[in-house]
C-alpha cells in the first residue's frame, strides 16, 4: 500500500479523502491556494503544500504546480477528487510519467469518455442503449416521417444549428412529424440561415439516474446500484437519493450490466459513473460517463456499506476487487441534500462572507456503512444515519473563487419515508449564519408532495418553483405545533425575566398562563400549564398539545417534543417574541398576553417606507470602484461601490432592490460625508 | 355606605376615560395608544398604583373653569417592571392635547421627588402639545420645576424618556436631560421650534418628520438613543432596558439567572481578524459571542456607527460595552463617536455599571471638518469620561490601538483594571508605513529602503508584546477564550473600591 497520498483538491472532497486515507494508515498531503490558507482540508492533512494564488486557474488546475507539490512531498499516489484535474488526461499522463499512481481511470478511458460523440459510439458498440435518432441530414418530409416511425413516437425534430427552442418540434404522429419538419425547416432557415434538420427520440418525463461502477485492473467490474439525481437546477444537482424510487430490479440490473459493459469496453478501471436518462416507461438511454468519483457518492456508500474512496485507492494500488456482484446488496434508503452558499430568495445568487455560525446536525452512524465498519469519524450509533461531508467550519470564510457547495448532508434509514423524515429534522437542526444558503429551499423540497411521492423528473424545480423560491407557508397543524412550542418557550423566558434581582419582596411579577401567539397571519390563544417535565398547551378550541423540551433562553436551537413528535426550531430574538425557522419557513412569532395582544391589534400595519432613492457617502473618502451602471437593476445587499477611507476599503451595498438612475461620482473622486454617490429610480 | 363606595368607582371610571371615547378613538386612529394603555404595557400586569387621579387644574381664564377633567392630562404613579419598582408619568393627549399646566407639572414633580427619595427610576411618556397656553407663565413655571427635578435626579436614579407623540418647544428640555430618549417611528417628533416658525424665520421649508422625527434624531442629531416601530414595541423594549439598569446610584446593577457557560470557548473568534490588516470585520460578532446568550442592547445604534455602545450581561450581571467598529470609518474616533461613547461611559460610571471596551482604533479622523468641529474637546470628553470612571474597567485590544486613540480607549494608563490584547493587536504610535516615513525621512527617495524599514518596524512594533513588556498589557489572550477571560476579570473586580478626590463636581470639557 502507498505510504503517502496527495489530494489534488480542496473543500469537502479533500477532507473526505483524507478521512479514508487516514483510516487506511496512509499519510496525506493537501494542496492549497492563497485563499485556502486556513481551510479545513489544510488543517486535516498531515502536510500541506501552497500551490499559488486564489483563482483555481492559477493554482488547483495548474498541472505543473500540482506536480511540483507531488515531487516536494514525495507522495506515491494522487487522488484528484472531482472537478479541477479529476478528468484531465494530461494530468493522468504527467503522473504516470513520474511513476506516481493516479487514483482514477487510465488516460485512454478518460479521453474516450470525455468526448460526447465518441462516447456515444463506443456505448452503441458495447450494446448500451442510447437515445435513438438519425444523425444524418433529412431531405424531405417523407423521409422525416419514415425515420420517425423507425425511432418510434414521440420524436423531437431539431434544427442542426438550433438552440433556445427555436427550430424544435415534438411530434406524436405522422401528421405532426410532416408538419413539424416543414415548420422547423422554415424557422431554422430564417433564424440560423441553416435549414439542416435531424430527428431523435423525445424523452417524456425524463429522469436522471446514474449507475456507480467499480472496476479493478484484473478485469473485474461490478456495479453498485443507482443514484437518482433528477432534482437539478441549471444542471446543478441539488438533491440525490439511492436507490431510485422509480427503478425496478430488472431495470436496475439491465442498466448496471450495460454500465459495466461500457466500462470494460474502454478498459476502464477504478470508480466511475454512467449517467442515463430514463423516460416515464422506464426506457433508459446512455447520456455520458463520468470518469471520477461523483459528488453524490456518499449515498451509494450508505446503502452498500462500501467506502468508495478506499476501493479507489486499492484499485490504484493494483489490488483485485474483494467483492463480486453477488456481494453487493442495497439496504435501506439514502438521501443527499447539497448545501450551497447561495441565496434562494434572490434567485439563488452566490453568497460569500464569513460563516459566523456553522453548526451541522449531530452525525449518527447507522446502516450498512456503520455495520461494515467503514463509517468515517466517531459518530454515535443509532438506527437512522446522519452524515455531513463538509469542508468549512464556523468562523471560516466562503470565498468567491470556488464552487459554492459547502456541505453534503446525507441521511440513511430503512425506508424512503424514514430517510426523508430524518433529513427534515437534520435540515432543521443545521445552523448556518453569516451567508445566504439554501437550507430553506432544501426543507421545502423535502416536504414537496411530488418529491415525497418519488415522482420527480429533471423539470422538477422549474415546474414546482416556476417563479423562484419565496419561502414556505406552513399548514395550520404545523403552525399550531410551533405556536404551542413558542408559548411554552416564551413562558420560560418570561419567568426567567421575573427572577431578576432587586425585586420588591412579596410583590413580584406573576407570569400568567394565557398567551396569544401570532405567526404567519394566524392567531392562537393558548393556555400554558407548566410542570416539571414540560408544559401542556391548551388552545381556545379545546385542542391540547404537550410540549417537552430542555430549551433555555438564549439557546439558538430548540429541540422539542410536541405531542410525541420531534420539532426542531432555529430560534432568534425579536421584540416581544421569537424569530423561528423550521421546515423552510421563516416566522416572526409574537407571544403576548391577551391584553397586550388586544393593544397590539391597534397598531397600524406599516408599509415599508421608501426612504432612500439615493446612495449617500457615509464617510469622507476616495471612490475606488463603482460596480454598477445607470439602468442596472440592483438587488438588496448588492455591492454598489467601494470607498477607501482611513486606508480601508468599505463596500457600500444597496439597501433595497431598485434601478440605478444616475451616478454622480467616478473612481478616483474624493467625496465628503453626505455627498450623493448615486440615485435610484 | 355602599353608595359612597360606589361613588368612588364612578369617579374613577370618569377619570379613566380621560378626554372621552371620541378622543380615545382619535388617538387609536393615529396609531397611538392612550396614556393608560401605555402604562399597562410598560408595567407588570396589575402593578400600577396611581397618584393624583382626581387632580384638576385651577385656571379660571378663557372659560377653562368650565372644563376641569380629572387627572389634568397626565397619569402618574408607580408600579413594577419584572418586580422592580419604577415611577412613571404618562401624558394624556386626549385631555387638552396633553398640554402642561401648573397642576399637570405638580403631578410629575411629585413622583419625581418620590423616585429620588425612594431610589427608583423615572420613566416619562411624552405625548403633549406643549404648554397650556391659557395658563401662561404658570405653565412655564411648571416646566422649570420639572427641569430642576430632572437635573437633581440625574445620576441618582435612571431617567428614561419615551417620546410617543409631539414634544415641542421648552418641553423638549425635560427629556433632553434624562439618560435615554426613545422615539416611536412616524408618530413622534421633537423640536425646539416647529416647521412654521422655521419657515417664518429662515424661509426653510421642512416637515415635522424631517425636522425632528425619529430618523432625524437617531441618525443625525443623536438626540434620541433609539426608535421603535410602534408603541407596543417601544414599551416592550424599555422594559428590556430597565432589566439591565440598577434602580439607583447606590444599588448594584441587577443580576438575573443565566443559561450560558461563563467559560464558553468560541473557536470562531480566532479567525475574526482578517489576514489583511486593512480589511474590516464586524465587531458586533465579538460582542454577541462574548455576551451571555448573545443578548446585546444597543444604544444609539444608528448614530456615529464607528463606535458601538450598549449593554450586555456577563454571568447574569450588566456590563456596559464600548467598541470601535472597523466596518465604519475603519473604527476611528471622531467628534460624534467621542461624544456618543463619552456620554455612555459616564452613564455607566454614574450607576456602577462595569465597562468592557473592545479596541480596534487606527486613530482620530483627520480633516478640517473634524478640527473645526472641535475634535480636540470632543475627543477629550471620552478621555475624561474613561479617566474619571471608578467602575471596573476591562479592555481588550483586538487589532489596532494607534496613537492618542490608544490612550483614550480605556488604556491601562487611565486606571484600566484589566487590559488584555489579542495576539493580533498592534499597539503603536501609528501604522508602520507612516511611522517609517517620519523616522527614516532621509530614505524617502529610496522605496526599497523604506520597504525594509517598514518591515523592520512591523516586526518590532506591530504586535502586543512591546506594550506587554512594559506591563501596559496585563496579558495577551487567545481570541477564543475572550468570554472566559473577561468574565473572570469582572468577577475579580466585584468588590472594587476606588474613589476620586473630593470635588464639588468636575469640569469635563463640555
Cell of A647: 486606508
Instruction: Decide if B26 touches A, using CB distance below 8 A.
Output: no
pLDDT given at position A608: 61
Task: State pLDDT tens for residues A464-480.
Answer: 998 889 889 999 999 99
Query: Could you say which of A357, A499, A647 has the minimum Cβ distance to residue B256?
Result: A499
Nearest of B196, B137, B218 to residue B170 by alpha carbon: B137
Catalytic residue among A93, A257, A275, A288: A288
Judging contacts by C-beta atoms under 8 Å, the chain B residues touching residue A501 are 254-256
Rg of chain B, C-alpha, whole Å: 26
Catalytic residue among B129, B169, B310, B416: B169
Instruction: Decide if B424 touches A, using CB distance below 8 A.
Output: no
Instruction: Decide if B250 touches A, using CB distance below 8 A.
Output: no
pLDDT given at position A163: 59
Q: Who contacts B148 (Cβ-Cβ below 8 Å, separation ≥6)?
A: none
Which chain A residue lies closest to B272 (C-alpha atoms)?
A: A395
CA distance B434 to chain A (A): 12
3-state secondary structure A585-654: EEEEEEEECHHHHHHHCCCCCCCCCCCCCEEECCCCEEEEEECCCCCCEECCCCEEEEEEECCEEEEEEC
Judging contacts by C-beta atoms under 8 Å, the chain B residues touching residue A356 are 268, 285
pLDDT tens, chain B, 510 aa long: 889 899 999 999 988 888 899 999 999 999 999 999 999 999 999 999 999 999 998 888 888 888 889 899 999 999 999 999 999 999 999 999 999 999 999 999 999 999 999 999 999 999 998 989 888 899 999 999 999 999 999 999 999 999 999 999 889 999 999 999 999 999 999 999 999 999 999 999 999 999 999 999 999 999 999 999 999 999 999 999 999 999 999 999 999 999 999 999 999 999 999 988 888 999 999 999 999 999 999 999 999 999 999 999 999 999 999 999 999 999 999 999 999 999 999 999 999 999 999 999 999 999 999 999 999 999 999 999 999 999 999 999 999 999 999 999 999 999 999 999 999 999 988 888 888 888 888 888 888 888 888 888 888 888 999 899 999 999 999 999 999 999 999 999 999 999 999 999 999 998
CB B84 to CB A602 under 8 A? no
B404 a catalytic residue: yes
CB B229 to CB A606 under 8 A? yes
CA distance B504 to chain A (A): 31
CA distance A396 to chain B (A): 7
Confidence of residue A653 (pLDDT cuts 50, 70, 90): confident
Cα–Cα dist B169/B105, whole Å: 16
CB B281 to CB A645 under 8 A? no
Instruction: Decide if B37 touches A, using CB distance below 8 A.
Output: yes
Average pLDDT of the segment spanning A182-197: 80
Confidence of residue A605 (pLDDT cuts 50, 70, 90): confident
Its ipTM equals 0.92
Task: State pLDDT tens for residues A504-514.
Answer: 999 999 999 99
Q: How far is CA A417 from CA A239, A241, A481, B493, in A?
A: 15, 12, 21, 57
Cα–Cα dist A269/A265, whole Å: 11
Nearest of A541, A538, A533 to residue A487 by alpha carbon: A538
B155 a catalytic residue: no
Instruction: Decide if B83 touches A, using CB distance below 8 A.
Output: yes
Which chain B residue lies closest to A355 (C-alpha atoms)?
A: B268
What is the maximum span of chain B, computed from C-alpha positions, in angstroms? Answer: 103
pLDDT given at position A486: 97
Nearest of B329, B381, B322 to residue B353 by alpha carbon: B322
Helix or strand run (H / E) with residue A481: helix A476-497
Which chain A residue lies closest to B279 (C-alpha atoms)?
A: A648
Q: Is B204 exposed, middle or buried (0-12, 13-18, 19+ CB in 10 A)?
A: exposed
CB-CB neighbours of A97 under 10 Å: 9
Q: How many CA atoms lie within 13 Å of A616's alpha carbon, on the beta-carbon side?
A: 6
pLDDT at A2 over 90: yes
Judging contacts by C-beta atoms under 8 Å, the chain A residues touching residue B324 are none
Judging contacts by C-beta atoms under 8 Å, the chain B residues touching residue A555 are 259
pLDDT at A193 over 80: no
Catalytic residue among B119, B170, B194, B316: B170
CB A500 to CB B255 under 8 A? yes
Identify the residue among A502, A507, A645 best suited for mutation to test binding to B, counting B beta carbons within 10 A and taking the highest. A502
Confidence of residue A234 (pLDDT cuts 50, 70, 90): confident
3-state secondary structure of B419: strand
CB A500 to CB B83 under 8 A? yes
pLDDT given at position B405: 95
Judging contacts by C-beta atoms under 8 Å, the chain B residues touching residue A673 are 369
Judging contacts by C-beta atoms under 8 Å, the chain A residues touching residue B278 are 647-649
Query: Could you say which of A507, A619, A650 has the minimum Cβ distance to residue B83?
Result: A507
CB B83 to CB A648 under 8 A? no
Total-model pTM: 0.89
CB A648 to CB B279 under 8 A? yes
Judging contacts by C-beta atoms under 8 Å, the chain A residues touching residue B33 are 599, 602
pLDDT given at position A407: 96
Which chain A residue lies closest to B256 (C-alpha atoms)?
A: A500
Q: Who contacts B507 (Cβ-Cβ below 8 Å, separation ≥6)?
A: none
Helix or strand run (H / E) with residue B378: helix B375-388
Judging contacts by C-beta atoms under 8 Å, the chain B residues touching residue A498 are 82-83
pLDDT given at position B379: 96
Instruction: Decide if B298 touches A, using CB distance below 8 A.
Output: no
Cell of A631: 439602468
CA distance B232 to chain A (A): 6
CB-CB neighbours of A383 under 10 Å: 12
Judging contacts by C-beta atoms under 8 Å, the chain A residues touching residue B255 are 500-501
User: Could you tell me how far CA B316 lies from the centroid of its own chain?
Assistant: 20
Amino acid at each position: 500500500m502507498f505510504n503517502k497520498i496527495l489530494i489534488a483538491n480542496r473543500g469537502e472532497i479533500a477532507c473526505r479523502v483524507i478521512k479514508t486515507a487516514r483510516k487506511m494508515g496512509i499519510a496525506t498531503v493537501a494542496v492549497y491556494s492563497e485563499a485556502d490558507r486556513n481551510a479545513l482540508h489544510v488543517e486535516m492533512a498531515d502536510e500541506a503544500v501552497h500551490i499559488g494564488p486564489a483563482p483555481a486557474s492559477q493554482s488547483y488546475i495548474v498541472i505543473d504546480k500540482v506536480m511540483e507539490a507531488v515531487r516536494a512531498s514525495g507522495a506515491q499516489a494522487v487522488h484528484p477528487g472531482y472537478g479541477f484535474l479529476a478528468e484531465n488526461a494530461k494530468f493522468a499522463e504527467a503522473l504516470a510519467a513520474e511513476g506516481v499512481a493516479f487514483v482514477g481511470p487510465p488516460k485512454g478511458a478518460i479521453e474516450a469518455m470525455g468526448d460526447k460523440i465518441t462516447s456515444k459510439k463506443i456505448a452503441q458498440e458495447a450494446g448500451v442503449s442510447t437515445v435513438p435518432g438519425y444523425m444524418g441530414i433529412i431531405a424531405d418530409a417523407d423521409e422525416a416521417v419514415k425515420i420517425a416511425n423507425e425511432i418510434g413516437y414521440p420524436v423531437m425534430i431539431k434544427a442542426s444549428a438550433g438552440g433556445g427552442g427555436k427550430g424544435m418540434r415534438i411530434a406524436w404522429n405522422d401528421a405532426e412529424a410532416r408538419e413539424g419538419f416543414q415548420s422547423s425547416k422554415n424557422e431554422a432557415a430564417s433564424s440560423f440561415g441553416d435549414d439542416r434538420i435531424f430527428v431523435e427520440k423525445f424523452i417524456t418525463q425524463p429522469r436522471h439516474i446514474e449507475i456507480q461502477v467499480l472496476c479493478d485492473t484484473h478485469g473485474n467490474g461490478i456495479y453498485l446500484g443507482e443514484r437518482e439525481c433528477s432534482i437539478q437546477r441549471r444542471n446543478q444537482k441539488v438533491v440525490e437519493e439511492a436507490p431510485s424510487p422509480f427503478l425496478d430490479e430488472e431495470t436496475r440490473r439491465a442498466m448496471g450490466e450495460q454500465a459495466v459493459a461500457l466500462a470494460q469496453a474502454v478498459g476502464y478501471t477504478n470508480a466511475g459513473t454512467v449517467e442515463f436518462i430514463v423516460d416515464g416507461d422506464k426506457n433508459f438511454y446512455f447520456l455520458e460517463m463520468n470518469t471520477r468519483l461523483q459528488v453524490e457518492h456518499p449515498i451509494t456508500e450508505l446503502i452498500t456499506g462500501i467506502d468508495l474512496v478506499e476501493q479507489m485507492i486499492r484499485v490504484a494500488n493494483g489490488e483485485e476487487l474483494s467483492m463480486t456482484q453477488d456481494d453487493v446488496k442495497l439496504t435501506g434508503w439514502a438521501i443527499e441534500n447539497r448545501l450551497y452558499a447561495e441565496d434562494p430568495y434572490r434567485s439563488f445568487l452566490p453568497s460569500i462572507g464569513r460563516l459566523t455560525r456553522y453548526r451541522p446536525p449531530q452525525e449518527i452512524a447507522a446502516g450498512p456503512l456503520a455495520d461494515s465498519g467503514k463509517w468515517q469519524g466517531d459518530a454515535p450509533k443509532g438506527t437512522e444515519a446522519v452524515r455531513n461531508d463538509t469542508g468549512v467550519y464556523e468562523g471560516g470564510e466562503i470565498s468567491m473563487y470556488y464552487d459554492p457547495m459547502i456541505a453534503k448532508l446525507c441521511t440513511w434509514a430503512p425506508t424512503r419515508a424514514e430517510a426523508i423524515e430524518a433529513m427534515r429534522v437534520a435540515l432543521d437542526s443545521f445552523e448556518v449564519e453569516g451567508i445566504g444558503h439554501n437550507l430553506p429551499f432544501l426543507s421545502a423540497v423535502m416536504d414537496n408532495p411530488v418529491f415525497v411521492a418519488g415522482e420527480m423528473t429533471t423539470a422538477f424545480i422549474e415546474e414546482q418553483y416556476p417563479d423562484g423560491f419565496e419561502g414556505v407557508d406552513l399548514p395550520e397543524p404545523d403552525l399550531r405545533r410551533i405556536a404551542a412550542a413558542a408559548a411554552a418557550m416564551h413562558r420560560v423566558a418570561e419567568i426567567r425575566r421575573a427572577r431578576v434581582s432587586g425585586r420588591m419582596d412579596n410583590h413580584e411579577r406573576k407570569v400568567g398562563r394565557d398567551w396569544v401567539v401570532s405567526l404567519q397571519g394566524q392567531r392562537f390563544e393558548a393556555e400554558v400549564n407548566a410542570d416539571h417535565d414540560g408544559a401542556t398547551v391548551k388552545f381556545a378550541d379545546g385542542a391540547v398539545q404537550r410540549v417537552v423540551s430542555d430549551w433555555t433562553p438564549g439557546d439558538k436551537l430548540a429541540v422539542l417534543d410536541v405531542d410525541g413528535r420531534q420539532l426542531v426550531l432555529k430560534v432568534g430574538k425579536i421584540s416581544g417574541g421569537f424569530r423561528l425557522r423550521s421546515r423552510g419557513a421563516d416566522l416572526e412569532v409574537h407571544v403576548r398576553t391577551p391584553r397586550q395582544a388586544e393593544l397590539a391589534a391597534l397598531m397600524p400595519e406599516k408599509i415599508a417606507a421608501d426612504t432612500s432613492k439615493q446612495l449617500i457617502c457615509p464617510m469622507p473618502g476616495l471612490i475606488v470602484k463603482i460596480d454598477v451602471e445607470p439602468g442596472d437593476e440592483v438587488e438588496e445587499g448588492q455591492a454598489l461601490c467601494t470607498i477607501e477611507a482611513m486606508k480601508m476599503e468599505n463596500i457600500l451595498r444597496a439597501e433595497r432592490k431598485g434601478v440605478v438612475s444616475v451616478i454622480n461620482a467616478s473612481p478616483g473622486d474624493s467625496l465628503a460625508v453626505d455627498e450623493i454617490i448615486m440615485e435610484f429610480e | 355606605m355602599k353608595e359612597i363606595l360606589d361613588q368612588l368607582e364612578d369617579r374613577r371610571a370618569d377619570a379613566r376615560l380621560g378626554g372621552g371615547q371620541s378622543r380615545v378613538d382619535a388617538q387609536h386612529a393615529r396609531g397611538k395608544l392612550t396614556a393608560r394603555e401605555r402604562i399597562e404595557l410598560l408595567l407588570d400586569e396589575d402593578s400600577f398604583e396611581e397618584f393624583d387621579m382626581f387632580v384638576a387644574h385651577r385656571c379660571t381664564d378663557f372659560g377653562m373653569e368650565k372644563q376641569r377633567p380629572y387627572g389634568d392630562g397626565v397619569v402618574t404613579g408607580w408600579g413594577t417592571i419584572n418586580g422592580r419598582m419604577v415611577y412613571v408619568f404618562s401624558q394624556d393627549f386626549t385631555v387638552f392635547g396633553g398640554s402642561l399646566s401648573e397642576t399637570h407639572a405638580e403631578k410629575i414633580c411629585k413622583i419625581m421627588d418620590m423616585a429620588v427619595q425612594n431610589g427608583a427610576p423615572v420613566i416619562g411618556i411624552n405625548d403633549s402639545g406643549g404648554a397650556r397656553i391659557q395658563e401662561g407663565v404658570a405653565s412655564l413655571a411648571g416646566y422649570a420645576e420639572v427641569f430642576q427635578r430632572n437635573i437633581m435626579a440625574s445620576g441618582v436614579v435612571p431617567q428614561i424618556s419615551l417620546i410617543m407623540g409631539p414634544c415641542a418647544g421648552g418641553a423638549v428640555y425635560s427629556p433632553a436631560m434624562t439618560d435615554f430618549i426613545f422615539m416611536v417611528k412616524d408618530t413622534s417628533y421633537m423640536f425646539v421650534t416647529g416647521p412654521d416658525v422655521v419657515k417664518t424665520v429662515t424661509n426653510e421649508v421642512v416637515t415635522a418628520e424631517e425636522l425632528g422625527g425619529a430618523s432625524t434624531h437617531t441618525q443625525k442629531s443623536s438626540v434620541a438613543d433609539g426608535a421603535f416601530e410602534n408603541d407596543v414595541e417601544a414599551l416592550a423594549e424599555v422594559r428590556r432596558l430597565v432589566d439591565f439598569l440598577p434602580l439607583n446610584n447606590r444599588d448594584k446593577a441587577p443580576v438575573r439567572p443565566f443559561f450560558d457557560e461563563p467559560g464558553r470557548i468560541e473557536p470562531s473568534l480566532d479567525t475574526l481578524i482578517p489576514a489583511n490588516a486593512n480589511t474590516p470585520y464586524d465587531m458586533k460578532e465579538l460582542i454577541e459571542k462574548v455576551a451571555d446568550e448573545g443578548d446585546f442592547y444597543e444604544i444609539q445604534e444608528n448614530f456615529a456607527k464607528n463606535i458601538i455602545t450598549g449593554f450586555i450581561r456577563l454571568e447574569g450581571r450588566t456590563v456596559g460595552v464600548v467598541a470601535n467598529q472597523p466596518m465604519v470609518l475603519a473604527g476611528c474616533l471622531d467628534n460624534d463617536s467621542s461624544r456618543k461613547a463619552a456620554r455612555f461611559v459616564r452613564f455607566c460610571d454614574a450607576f456602577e455599571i462595569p465597562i468592557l471596551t473592545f479596541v480596534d482604533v487606527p486613530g482620530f479622523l483627520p480633516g478640517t471638518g473634524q478640527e473645526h468641529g472641535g475634535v480636540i474637546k470632543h475627543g477629550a470628553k471620552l478621555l475624561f469620561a474613561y479617566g474619571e470612571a471608578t467602575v471596573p474597567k476591562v479592555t481588550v485590544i483586538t487589532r489596532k490601538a494607534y496613537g492618542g486613540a490608544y490612550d483614550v480607549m480605556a488604556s491601562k494608563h487611565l486606571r484600566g483594571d484589566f487590559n488584555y490584547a489579542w495576539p493580533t493587536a498592534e499597539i503603536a504610535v501609528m501604522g508602520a508605513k507612516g511611522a517609517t516615513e517620519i523616522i527614516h525621512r532621509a530614505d524617502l527617495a529610496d522605496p526599497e529602503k523604506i520597504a525594509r524599514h517598514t518591515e523592520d518596524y512591523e516586526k518590532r512594533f506591530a504586535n502586543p508584546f512591546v506594550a506587554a513588556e512594559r506591563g501596559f498589557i496585563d496579558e495577551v489572550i487567545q481570541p477564543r477564550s475572550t468570554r472566559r477571560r473577561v468574565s473572570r476579570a469582572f468577577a475579580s473586580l466585584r468588590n472594587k473600591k476606588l474613589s476620586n478626590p473630593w470635588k464639588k463636581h468636575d469640569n469635563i470639557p463640555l
